[in-house]
Structures are given as structure tokens and as C-alpha cells.
Amino acid sequence: MSEQTPGCLRVGQNAPDFTATAVVDQEFKTIKLSDYRGKYVVLFFYPLDFTFVCPTEITAFSDSYASFSDINTEVLGVSVDSEFSHLAWIQSDRKSGGVGDLEYPLVSDIKKEISTAYNVLDPEVGVALRGLFIIDKEGVIQHATINNLSFGRSVEETLRVLQAIQYVQTHPDEVCPAGWQPGSATMNPDPVKSKEFFAAV
């Protein structure tokens, strides 16, 4: 896996590998991104535990986890908090601002090395922006978005993009138009053959 220079990370490059402590089923475990090779990975960063927008995203991904798992995808949440903070947040009830038990690991980036490698660290605030990366089975970044701190992301849109990535990777002679959903029409990226799609719509 090639090394990346912070600030130069982009789609089509290898995702920077990392080893970190995560909370999995209320236990501390050491995980490596490369351990998930052969699976797709949705890697998302969020600013801090015990905040406001963050728990809405964390729980939404957990509630939809089966939809990702069913298509060979792992979800990993990352913030600059310690694993102890992650555990305390997980052990807090959702009604009181906690996230409760989660279906996927929460990764500690307390040294800020992962968020730096993925170029999502806001150095002035000292936390990660809401970066989200879809990494394919070969460890290559296929999709990246970064939101500012005050607004959350759509789990449904993440799933849709993931499904489109998986479709075109298994159908190399097709591309997915805007708003594509599984089962809807694709097109052939050819000046002549693409007219079939445009004529139909």
C-alpha cells in the first residue's frame, strides 16, 4: 500500500492503513484497516463523542448496519476521542445523548494520526471534520466527501453510492447515471450505445 502525503489524498488512491484501538461490543480491540481487505469499508470521521449532530449519525449507521453487512461492507466510525470516551458514550442511553450498543467499531484517533492521514483534521479546532470514505475490496478509495462540523450526512445516500460502486466494479462496460438506484437503468459509456439510454429516458 503506497504512502500518502497529507493533503494529497484523493479518489483512486490506496486508503492509508492504520492500526488503532476500537470499541467493539463494549470491549477494547486493536484493529487494522488492512484486516478488512476483501470487504468494502465505509470509513467515517466525526468531531467528538457526547456532542449533538454526531450521535444522530452514529446511531443511523448502526440502525442501517445490516444493509451494509449484507453487501460485504464494514462500517468504521473514527474520532479523536479516547477509547474510554467511546466506551462511556456507548454505555450511555440514546435518550440521554448516548449512542447505546453499536453494530460496528468506534475507533480512537487520540493522536490524530488517522484524521491527519485522511486530511480531515481541522487544526484550529483540533477535531476531525465529517469526512466519509468508501474503500473498495482492494483498499482503494472510490468515494470521498467532507462536511463541515454543523451538518450531518445521509446514510441512505452513502448506501446508494456504495451500491453504485459495487455495480460498476462488477459490470465494467456500464456506468450509473445521476440518482441511480439498484435495478434502474444504466448506460454504456460509448457515444453510440449511450443513445439507447437517453432515448429511453
Could you give the residue numbers annotated as active site?
54
The answer to whether 34 touches 123, Cβ cutoff 8 Å, is no
The answer to whether 128 touches 48, Cβ cutoff 8 Å, is no
Give the Cα separation of 22 and 105 in Å (integer): 6
Give the Cα separation of 178 and 88 in Å (integer): 41
- Pairing label, strands 40-45, 73-79: parallel
Give the Cα separation of 93 and 98 in Å (integer): 5
The answer to whether 64 touches 162, Cβ cutoff 8 Å, is no
CA triple 144-150-154, angle to 5 deg = 45
